[in-house]
Amino acid sequence: MNGKEGEDVFYLEKEKHSLSLLNPAILVIDVQNYFFQKDAPAYLRGSERILKNIIQLLTEVKSIKKDIPVIGTIHKGWNDNMHSWWGNVVTNEWAVPLVPQELLDNLIEKSTYDAFYDTNLNDLLKSKNVNQLIITGVMTHLCCETTARSGFVRGYKIVMVEDCLWDKDEWYHYASLKNIAHGFGVIANKDEILQILKAIE
């Protein structure tokens, strides 16, 4: 999907809300074999590309700004509504994180779309004096968008890293990011994030 004359599809939103970073944490949502392994029940075609981008982003962030918390989530376990809707449960077999452990400061488990719901995420962020969430992972329109909305109403500034997020297809992905950009989040790519961090190093 292209924006004006082949430019960034989010160019209008970026003109209205520019990217800035202040006391951020990076959330890595559900980067696990359930969504990234080709024989997995919920494999997302094309997810390999964003896995590479996420690992590159985290590796460079750790090298230039070691004080930025990186918190991963894993989706697993029983939730009544999730089971009622999807008809399945994510078991331990499909809850294997794919981001190298040394790139994560914390890893939390969740059982529904919202990474804040019934977890210690908010307490963890408060303990680290975080006031902004840089969100990566899958799926853009479900767990990532729900967590972004939940973070926004809790007072966090939201940044969505478009080339470190993915979905069932590009329509879900871009529709979700357009909604977020309209109401409560800044859209950026990994290079824009790194450029700002390097400038304030």
Integer-rounded Cα Rg, in Å, for the chain is 16
Q: Residue 1's pLDDT is what?
A: 52
Strands lying side by side in the sheet with 24-29? 106-110, 70-75, 24-29, 132-138, 157-166, 186-188
Q: Does 9 fall in a domain?
A: no
* CA pair distance 111, 199, nearest whole angstrom: 38
Q: Residue 6's pLDDT is what?
A: 46
Q: Residue 66's pLDDT is what?
A: 81
Contact 73, 53 (CB under 8 A): no
Beta strands in 41-131 (DSSP E): 70-75, 106-110
Q: Does 10 fall in a domain?
A: no
Q: Residue 7's pLDDT is what?
A: 61
Q: Residue 5's pLDDT is what?
A: 41
- Two structure tokens written together for 50: 């964003």
Number of domains present in the structure of the chain: 1
Q: Does 8 fall in a domain?
A: no
6 exposure class (CB count in 10 Å sphere: 0-12, 13-18, 19+):
exposed
Write the CATH number for 73.
Answer: 3.40.50.850
Q: Does 12 fall in a domain?
A: no
Q: Does 6 fall in a domain?
A: no
DSSP3 helix / strand / coil % (the chain, rounded to 5): 45, 20, 35
How would you write the pLDDT of the chain (201 residues) with one tens digit per residue? Answer: 544 444 678 877 877 788 999 999 999 999 999 999 999 999 999 999 999 999 999 999 999 988 999 999 999 999 999 999 999 899 999 999 999 999 999 999 999 999 999 999 999 999 999 999 999 999 999 999 999 999 999 999 999 999 999 999 999 999 999 999 999 999 999 999 999 999 886
Q: What is the pLDDT of residues 107-148, one digit of tens each?
A: 999 999 999 999 999 999 999 999 999 999 999 999 999 999
* Mean per-residue pLDDT over the chain, rounded: 94
Q: Does 5 fall in a domain?
A: no
Q: Residue 3's pLDDT is what?
A: 46
Look up the domain containing 108 and give its range: 17-199
Residue 139, preceding peptide bond in cis (omega within 30° of 0): yes
Q: Residue 201's pLDDT is what?
A: 63
Q: Does 1 fall in a domain?
A: no
